[in-house]
Amino acid sequence: MATLGIPKNTIEILQKYNFSFQKKFGQNFLIDTHVLERIIKEAEITKDDMVLEIGPGIGTMTQYLCENARKVVAVEIDNNLIPILKDTLGSYDNVCVINEDILKVDINKLVLEENEGKPIKVVANLPYYITTPIIMGLFEKKVNVDSITVMVQKEVALRMQAGPGTKDYGALSLAVQYYSEPDIVANVPPNCFMPRPNVSSAVIRMKLHKQPKVIIENESLLFKIIRASFSQRRKTLVNSINNSSELSISKEHVAAALNEMGLSENIRGEALTLEQFGELSDILNKQ
């Protein structure tokens, strides 16, 4: 089977099927074998693994995954790609392609049926417009995942990895770090894709925490507080939480909680660590 990481082979298969890129699906196919090899290496794929690939496209990375994993389940939303995938993955017997929107797939059920409920690895070159819902969906549904290694827009990768007090730090940073240990493992320039995107990309690997990084009483409250704290970045935490439509907590309660933590009433959300958000959430939960 012709390796699709080589641009010439990618062009040939696209022409053979007269394929046209769909803007609405954010399609950018990888055409760089070094990047593909790097993703496989950083995702630590072994012959024991079941891999869930989101958005296989024409099967470029899928071929690499099939060579290295025990089983690959690839979920592709664009039905125009299904005949192409039948062709490019025809020589592999360890792959299953599902023509479905990943946000509508019951991934927990899939893990149970395809991997006896054991942890899977997720690998994907994600469409940039739905990166966050896909990743948050995997976290929030408590899918049994060992690691998530994905190509995303570079600025999103920087946000996921950012720490307190930086301009990139926000609700996404806290959510990703609550569930996992994020690590940017490769930077990928636009010329590694077809068509070329207008932005730089990065591969980020998130290893899921075996035990939660912070133990809190009310996870849902924690994330409401985090969302409120960054919805109006320039405002103080007291005002942001008080203004939130998701919460009904008075300024006095927030100020009292911050005092109890030894923090200023004028502090902004971007100054708090994940642990501090956990502590604030527990104090407000008791109230």
Rounded Cα–Cα distance for residues 82 and 101 (Å)? 13
Structure tokens that stand for 201 in this block: 């990309």
- Can you tell me the distance from the alpha carbon of 143 to that of 179, in angstroms, rounded to the nearest whole number? 11
pLDDT in tens, 181-195: 999 999 999 999 998
Query: What is residue 129's predicted lDDT score, i.e. its pLDDT?
Result: 83
Residue 94 has a CB neighbour count (10 Å cut-off) of 16
Q: Is the pLDDT of residue 24 over 80?
A: no
**26: pLDDT confidence band, cut at 50, 70 and 90?**
confident
Please determine, for residue 280, whether its predicted confidence score (pLDDT) is greater than 90.
Answer: yes
Does 159 score more than 70 pLDDT?
Answer: yes
Lowest mean pLDDT among 1-5, 109-113, 171-175: 1-5
DSSP string, 12-59: HHHHHTT----GGGT--EE--HHHHHHHHHHTT--TT-EEEEE--TTT
d(CA 179, CA 196): 32
DSSP string, 143-192: --EEEEEEEEEHHHHHHHH--TTSTT-SHHHHHHHHHEEEEEEEEE-GGG
Q: Which residue has the tokens 């070094």?
A: 34
Residues of the chain with CATH 3.40.50.150: 7-208
The model scores a pTM over 0.75: yes
CA atoms of 99 and 80, how far apart (whole Å): 10
pLDDT reading at 284 higher than 80: yes
Share of the chain above pLDDT 90, in %: 87
Q: In the predicted model, is pLDDT for residue 164 greater than 70?
A: yes
pLDDT at 285 over 90: yes
From CA 128, how far away is CA 144, in angstroms rounded?
24
- The CA–CA distances, whole Å, from 95 to 42, 89, 107, 146 equal 21, 8, 16, 20
pLDDT given at position 3: 85
Compute the average pLDDT of residues 265-271. 96
Residue 264 CA to residue 261 CA, distance in Å, equals: 9
Render pLDDT for 86-137 as a digit per residue (tens, 0 to 9).
999 999 999 999 999 999 999 999 999 999 999 999 999 988 888 999 999 9
Instruction: Cite the residue boundaries of each domain of the chain with CATH code 1.10.8.100.
Output: 219-286
Q: pLDDT class for 22, splitting at 50, 70, 90?
A: confident
SS3 content of the chain, % helix, strand, coil (to 5): 45, 20, 35
Q: Would you tell me which CATH number, out of the four given (3.40.50.300, 1.10.10.10, 1.10.8.100, 1.10.10.60), belongs to the domain 219-286?
A: 1.10.8.100
pLDDT of residue 267: 97
- pLDDT tens-digit profile of 208-255? 999 888 999 999 999 999 999 999 888 999 999 999 999 999 999 999
Residue 174 tokens read as 């806290």
Question: Is the CATH number 3.20.20.70 carried by domain 7-208?
Answer: no
Residue the block writes with tokens 């990743």? 135
**Has residue 2 got a pLDDT over 90?**
no
**Tokens coding 212:** 């939660």
- pLDDT category of residue 1 using cuts at 50, 70 and 90: low
Token readout for 258 is 């911050």
Q: What stretch of H or E contains 87? A: helix 82-88
Both tokens of 86, joined, read 């039948």
> Can you spell out the DSSP letters for 113-152?
HHHTT--EEEEEE--GGGHHHHHHHHHHTT--EEEEEEEE
Average pLDDT, the chain: 95
